[in-house]
Amino acid sequence: MRLGLLLFVLSIATCTAQSELARRNGFKSIKLGSSLDSVKGTIFKKDFIEAKEFPAKLYEVEHPDYQKIGSVSVKHIELKVYKGLIYEINVATEKDPQVMKALEKSYGKATYSIRSEHFYWRAPDTLSLAYKGHAKKIELIYRSMPVRKLMFVDKGKKVEEVAEDF
């Protein structure tokens, strides 16, 4: 009975943390899946090919609204954009244990990936957030699942177009 109650409480806590991650859907007012035009202070950096297949654009964000997370300084923010939609947000901060504590308070206990050596949180079918600690900085990577799915749907359409040309 107690084990069942404990599992029930843990599942509710996990669902709440995942729904909070999905509700926020990004970093501060930068939302995954939204138009690049909705973000203040974007600066175009370069065009690139994501995963050797998808044409994308890289932007840097420089705006006072995004310079701090509480008392922790943000070193830089980069946005990856596909067809005008933000599919990845990379936030680099100074190394500070408050960042991980705040993330766990907001989203619950993180899962650790031994293979990629980082912590992560997931909101199924919505987004993922990865936490990577380096010697002098912390990197937070927000990824949009729906926009990444759109990339593969577009790839499938291109294959169909080529197949119809035979």
Q: pLDDT at position 91, please?
A: 98
* 34 in Cβ contact with 12 (< 8 Å): no
Q: Where are the beta strands (DSSP E) in the chain?
A: 26-27, 30-31, 42-50, 54-61, 68-69, 72-82, 85-94, 111-113, 118-123, 127-133, 137-144
Q: Is the pLDDT of residue 112 over 90?
A: yes
Q: Tell me: the pLDDT tens digits for 135-155?
A: 899 999 999 999 999 998 887
| Average of per-residue pLDDT values in the chain | 88
* 139 in Cβ contact with 92 (< 8 Å): yes
Q: pLDDT at position 165, please?
A: 66
Token pair in block for residue 72: 């922790």
Which of the two residues, 102 and 9, has the higher pLDDT score? Answer: 102
Torsion from C-alpha of 36, 41, 47, 53, nearest 10 degrees: -40
Measure the CA–CA gap between 2 and 105, rounded to whole angstroms. Answer: 25
Residue among 40, 116, 113, 110 nearest 79 (CA): 40
Could you give the percent of the chain with pLDDT greater than 90? 77
Q: Is the pLDDT of residue 9 over 60?
A: no
Q: pLDDT at position 5, please?
A: 35
Q: pLDDT at position 8, please?
A: 38
Using CA atoms, how far residue 28 sits from 6, 42, 56, 93, in Å, is 33, 15, 23, 14
